[in-house]
A and B are shown apart, each in its own frame.
Chain A
C-alpha cells in the first residue's frame, strides 16, 4: 500500500502579518512586507501565544515556530486531544542558524561580566533544534522530532523529510516547517560582508537591477498527515505533498553551480517522486532570492528540468514580498504555494520591471495571475536552495 501525505493545517508568521491568510492574501494583492530594506515580523507579539515564562525560555525563532504551529494545529481541527497516539506524531522544524539573538546577547554578557554572567538558558535558547523541541513539548508529541540545518533549504528539507517519515510508516502525522529570526548585528554584517544582501534594500527577484537579498524573519509550520488516516478522522485536506527531490551541488561554499545542474536534478526528482512530468506543472514558486547568481542559475535549472514547459509556466518569488526568511523560507513558501493553488491565483513577483538577457521566463510581473486547469487539482513545484549547495524541491498539489 502506498502511503500518501496530505496537508491538513498551515500556520505562518511573516513580515506580511500574523497568520497564513495574511501571507497568501496580502502577497496576492501585491502588498510587500519589507520596510527600510528589511523584512521584520512587526505584528508578531510572542505573548499572544506564549506565557511569559515560555517566552523567556525560547529564542525569537522558536517563539515564532510555536505560534505558527498553534495556527496549523488548530486549522487541522486538533484540540486538546491528539488524533493519534503521541508516539505516532513527529515534529521536524528547520532553521538556518538557530538562536542567534540569544547567542549574541550571551556573548555580550561573557565579554562584559565574565563566565558567571552567562545564563543557564543560553544553550536551550540558541540550539538549532529548539523550535522542534518546544513544539513537541507543548503538544505532547513523541515521534521523530529534530531540527534540520541546511541554510536556506532547511524549511523545504524539513517538509520533505517529514513526508518521508510518514510514507515510511514511522508516523501518521508530522508537524513540520521552518523558523528563523536572524536579523542581528552579526548576521546582517556577515551577509553584507560577503555581498549577499541588497545594498538598495529592494527585493526584486529575476529583475536586471537586482543586487542581493533582503533579510527577513518568520516561521511556517504545516500539519502533514497520512491521507487515509486524515480521511478517516474527517480532516479537511488543504493540499497534498506529492513529491520531494533533494540534491547537493558539491561545488562551492556559497555560490550555486552556474548552470543549475543539481538544482534541475532536484526538480526532476521531485516530479518523478510525484509520478508527474514537466507538462503537469501549473505554477513554480521559485527560490528567487534577488541575488545575481541564484536567479540566473535557478532560471537555467528550470529550463533544464522543465524543458519546453519552462517558457509557459508562471513563476513567482515569495521573497519579493517578504524578503529572504532563510531557514523558514521553504516552509513559508510551501504555504504560499498551497494557498496559490487553492485560490487558483498565482501571486506576482513584486518589483519586477526590467528583463535581463536569458532571464526570460514568465515571472508574473505586475499583478496576480489566475491559474487554470479545468476542475482538476493544480500542481506546483517549490524550490529551495541553500548555501553549501543544498537543493530541496517540493511538488505540491491542491
Chain B
C-alpha cells in the first residue's frame, strides 16, 4: 500500500526523512544543497528506501548521482511517480 503522490506530500516525506537521518529541520529548504546539509551517498540510499516505502518509487544510484539540491530530489520523485 503506497501513498498517492503529490508534490506537497513528497516534500513532507523527504523533509521528515532528512530530519530522521540527522538533518536539522530549520536548515531544510528546496534551495538547500545536499552538500551544505552534509548529506552523503549513504544518506541518499536511506532516503531512497524511505521514498520507496512511501510511494513505491524506486530510486537508483544513477537517478540521484547528479542531484544537487533538496528541491531536485523532490522533483525527481514526483517525475518518477508520474
Which residues of chain A are within 8 angstroms of B49 by Cβ–Cβ distance? Answer: 116-117, 119-120
Residue B38 interfacial (CB < 8 Å): yes
Q: What's the least CB distance linking B42 to chain A, in Å?
A: 5
Considering the complex, give the chain A residue whose CB is closest to the CB of B41.
A120
A53 touches B46 (CB 8 A): no
Complex partner residue of A116 from B22, B46, B52, CB under 8 angstroms: B52
Q: How far is the CA of A53 from the CA of B38 in the complex (A)?
A: 10
Q: What's the least CB distance linking A279 to chain B, in Å?
A: 56
Which residues of chain B are within 8 angstroms of A53 by Cβ–Cβ distance? Answer: 21-23, 38
**B-side binding surface: helix, strand, loop or mixed?**
helix
Contact with A along B39-53 (1 / 0, CB 8 A): 000100110010010
Q: What's the least CB distance linking B39 to chain A, in Å?
A: 9
Which residues of chain A are within 8 angstroms of B52 by Cβ–Cβ distance? Answer: 116
B38 touches A120 (CB 8 A): no
Contact with B along A79-117 (1 / 0, CB 8 A): 000000000000000000000000000000000000011
A52 touches B22 (CB 8 A): yes
Q: What's the least CB distance linking B64 to chain A, in Å?
A: 13
Contact with A along B63-78 (1 / 0, CB 8 A): 0000000000000000
Q: How far is the CA of A120 from the CA of B46 in the complex (A)?
A: 7
Which residues of chain B are within 8 angstroms of A116 by Cβ–Cβ distance? Answer: 49, 52
Residue A121 interfacial (CB < 8 Å): yes
User: Which residue, of A116, A117, A120, has the highest number of chain B Cβ atoms within 10 A?
Assistant: A120
B22 touches A120 (CB 8 A): no
Residue A51 interfacial (CB < 8 Å): yes
**A-side binding surface: helix, strand, loop or mixed?**
helix
Contact with B along A30-67 (1 / 0, CB 8 A): 00000000000000000000011111110000000000
Which residues of chain B are within 8 angstroms of A117 by Cβ–Cβ distance? Answer: 49
Considering the complex, give the chain B residue whose CB is closest to the CB of A52.
B22
Q: How far is the CA of A124 from the CA of B46 in the complex (A)?
A: 14
Which residues of chain B are within 8 angstroms of A52 by Cβ–Cβ distance? Answer: 22
A120 touches B23 (CB 8 A): no
Complex partner residue of A51 from B22, B42, B45, B46, CB under 8 angstroms: B22
Q: How far is the CA of A117 from the CA of B45 in the complex (A)?
A: 11
Chain A 111-136 residues near chain B, CB threshold 8 A = 116-117, 119-121, 124
A119 touches B46 (CB 8 A): yes
A56 touches B45 (CB 8 A): no
Considering the complex, give the chain A residue whose CB is closest to the CB of B42.
A120
Chain A 131-174 residues near chain B, CB threshold 8 A = none
Q: How far is the CA of A116 from the CA of B49 in the complex (A)?
A: 8
B21 touches A56 (CB 8 A): yes
Give 6 closest A-B pairs by Cβ, nearest first.
A53-B22, A120-B45, A52-B22, A120-B42, A56-B22, A120-B46
Known: A117-B49, A119-B46. 13 other contacts (CB 8 A): A53-B21, A53-B23, A54-B22, A56-B21, A56-B22, A116-B52, A119-B49, A120-B42, A120-B45, A120-B46, A120-B49, A121-B42, A121-B46
19 residue pairs A–B, Cβ–Cβ below 8 Å: A51-B22, A53-B21, A53-B22, A53-B38, A54-B22, A55-B22, A56-B21, A56-B22, A57-B22, A116-B49, A116-B52, A117-B49, A119-B49, A120-B42, A120-B45, A120-B46, A121-B42, A121-B46, A124-B42
Question: Which of B's residues lie within 8 Å of A, judged by CB?
Answer: 21-23, 38, 42, 45-46, 49, 52
Question: Which of A's residues lie within 8 Å of B, judged by CB?
Answer: 51-57, 116-117, 119-121, 124
